[in-house]
Structure 1
């Protein structure tokens, strides 16, 4: 035996247990992304290939990031002002 020893013994095929609802590739049914039917994939599909437009992702630009940061700053400022006001009110009651 060469190399580093195994931490645990290797399980036989019939002993293998998959957790959390995982299914082995052997048990999984193939679906076509072109037509949606089972048993084949897009490469071997008999239907004419449908071209789907690429999905546009909303990537924020610098102005959006700055506006979001400013909005967050206003929110924290309001929270701080409210806390200071409550602190002053509690001092006045004493």
Structure 2
């Protein structure tokens, strides 16, 4: 049987030069890093820690401004469109 050692996030922070346990937890929750979750507790296997080291070695991804699509401007929505007749009447009375 092949047993894999698991580490708590505190142990990973001690072994690897990461900013904090919170930094690590945020990336695990976002799915950027690999890890195992049992309830609210995260743990990482040896291969997960190796992936973390590769992630740290690559550095942050820098995306050129030309590659980023601009945020589309949301369409102007008529606020009264989703209201009931009585609510539209109240709204028009307030704005008048």
TM-score (normalised: structure 1):
0.21
Higher helix share: 2
The structure having more radius of gyration, on CA atoms, is 1
Higher strand share: 2
TM-score (normalised: structure 2):
0.21
Larger relative contact order (CA 8 Å, sep ≥ 6): 2
